[in-house]
Amino acid sequence: MAERKGGKRAAREPVIRENGDWGIGNTPRNGAAVSSPGSPHVSGDTGKADLLAIKSHIHRRLLERLNLSNLDRLDRDEVMETIRTLVRELLAAESIPLNLEERDDLIRQVLDEIFGLGPLQPLMDDPTIADILVNTSQMIYVERNGKLERTDVRFHDDKHLHQVIDRIVSSVGRRIDDAAPMVDARLADGSRVNAIIPPLAIDGPHLSIRKFNDDGLSAEDLVRTGSLSESMLRFLEGVVRGRLNVLISGGTGAGKTTLLNVLSSFIPENERIVTVEDSAELRLRQPHVVRLETRPANVEGVGSVTQRLLVVNALRMRPDRIIVGEVRSVEAVDMLQAMNTGHDGSLTTLHANTPRDAISRLETMIAMADLNLPQKAVRTQIASAIDVVVQVSRLSDGTRRVKQVPEIVGMEGDVVTMQDIFTFEQTGVDDDGGVIGRLRPTGIRPKCLERLAAQGFQMGADAFTDHGAGSPVVRTA
């Protein structure tokens, strides 16, 4: 935004370089239109290939005219309007015949190249898309309602795709090159990004974007869409408010982070929360939140900050709650220690297909720390640290459901014992491929209810009784 001094606009560098012409051949700014030698030839109806050539040409000419070093310091809307004007005048100067729709589309594409993610920007702006999967420059898929579909969006070539990847990772202080050919990053809106390039990706650069929904799903939304039942939600609310430790388990894209965001909304606003993530994507609404994010090594291979270091540091920050976005490795040791040493009410997620698999994965992560602990000691630590596991899954029709809510009740010999409080019971598939089923309580009264009652949370015994009907699941778009 322009600064003002003494009521007048302060002097600043112009957005447009003050040359006597457009920098395209000998076309004067107010003179007759004369095509430059490099202008694309267009005749008749403009095809997609012609528009790509025109866009590349206009984009190149535009960069010659813009004072790029000054763009970041100016009001975005003002710069965009200036660029729109420049593109219109460039098209007129080049005598390129485009109808109004083609011209508007070209201007939008040029703006996307400068300010957005190029060809991917319309997909980013589409609220129905959850994931964007770029398998090299010529093959781009999206996920809508849990289903993958191929798009007709294309990059010019792999170099063009690589430029967009560079723009993404450099904006968050990360890099991708031959020395570091894969990277996790995030966009300014919180969307999660993974990129991998040759030589690790054999066919060319690959880019995966998990879009962040700024509105987010509320607890009521999850009930309305059948992801969980009202009784499940009420129980989980009590678990969080009662400061029990929760592990959310599920496969890729099952909705773990979405559920974690929902459950974290039940944390009282007067508590201090510290979040630890590999790539920050949690959006907590409480006012007292400290967000920590890992850092990769620099060009010299030093300066890396791992999740384990951040978890250890979080313990020194006087947290009431610690939330680890996802435990993947040895940080599980420190997370369990935190849960066992007074940091009740912590939450985390983990990749696993069943609650029992989640316990096994935790054991494996602890073993990676080379502590040489007996297996029984490890399992005892897990059983005393984790109170409730929430298993989420993406079903065959693309919908996401809470499939199990088991409570960890202790040890029997060398085995961690669990009892299911709620389950999802699939009964069939309809003609459209939609999963038919119901969310139901198992009839087991949770052992933790006494602990929750001591915290002032009451829940009637009927909530855990299966009367046969359960909560029907209706497939929603």
Q: What is the CATH number of the domain that holds 363?
A: 3.40.50.300
Task: Give the Cα-Cα-Cα angle 21, 27, 30 (nearest 5 degrees).
Answer: 70
**Domain co-membership, 354 together with 449:** yes
Residue after which a domain boundary falls, among 67, 97, 115: 115
Q: Among the listed ranges 81-95, 143-157, 328-342, 412-426, which one has the minimum average pLDDT value?
A: 81-95
pLDDT tens figures, 145-191: 878 999 998 888 898 899 889 888 887 777 888 888 988 887 888 78
Residue 3 covered by a domain: no
Q: How far apart are CA 366 and CA 333, in angstroms?
A: 6
Phi, psi (rounded to 5 degrees) for 4 = -120, 135
Residue 8 covered by a domain: no
Q: What is the DSSP letter of 192?
A: E
Residue 9 covered by a domain: no
**Domain co-membership, 306 together with 407:** yes
**Domain co-membership, 64 together with 203:** no
Residue 2 covered by a domain: no
Q: How far apart are CA 318 and CA 325, in angstroms?
A: 19
Residue 292 covered by a domain: yes
**Domain co-membership, 101 together with 129:** no
Task: Give the Cα-Cα-Cα angle 14, 16, 22 (nearest 5 degrees).
Answer: 155
Domain range for 104: 15-115
Q: Among the listed ranges 75-79, 200-204, 261-265, 419-423, which one has the minimum average pLDDT value?
A: 75-79
- Compute, in degrees rounded to 10, the torsion defined by CA atoms 171, 173, 174, 176: 60
CATH code of residue 199: 3.30.450.370
- Residue keyed to tokens 């992560």: 365
**Domain co-membership, 223 together with 206:** no
Q: How far apart are CA 434 and CA 475, in angstroms?
A: 6
Mean pLDDT of the chain: 81
Residue 4 covered by a domain: no
Task: Give the Cα-Cα-Cα angle 230, 397, 219 (nearest 5 degrees).
Answer: 25
Whether the pLDDT of residue 291 is over 50: the answer is yes
Q: Which long-range contacts (CB under 8 A, 24 or more apart) does 141-149 make?
A: 143/253, 145/398, 145/477, 146/253, 146/394, 146/395, 146/397, 146/398, 146/399, 146/400, 147/398
**Domain co-membership, 167 together with 264:** no
Q: What is the DSSP letter of 305?
A: B
**Domain co-membership, 347 together with 383:** yes
Phi, psi (rounded to 5 degrees) for 262 = -65, -50
Tokens of 387: 């109170």
The tally of domains found in the chain comes to 3
**Domain co-membership, 101 together with 197:** no
**What residue type is assigned to position 453 of the chain?**
A
The SS3 call for residue 440 is strand
Residue after which a domain boundary falls, among 115, 146, 172: 115
**Domain co-membership, 186 together with 271:** no
pLDDT tens figures, 210-256: 887 766 688 998 999 889 999 999 999 999 999 999 999 999 888 89
Cβ proximity of 415 and 360 under 8 Å: no
**Domain co-membership, 200 together with 239:** no
Residue after which a domain boundary falls, among 90, 115, 140: 115
Residue 357 covered by a domain: yes
**Domain co-membership, 184 together with 314:** no
**Domain co-membership, 163 together with 39:** no
Supply the pTM of this predicted model: 0.73
Q: Mean of the pLDDT values across residues 383-404?
A: 92
Residue 149 covered by a domain: yes
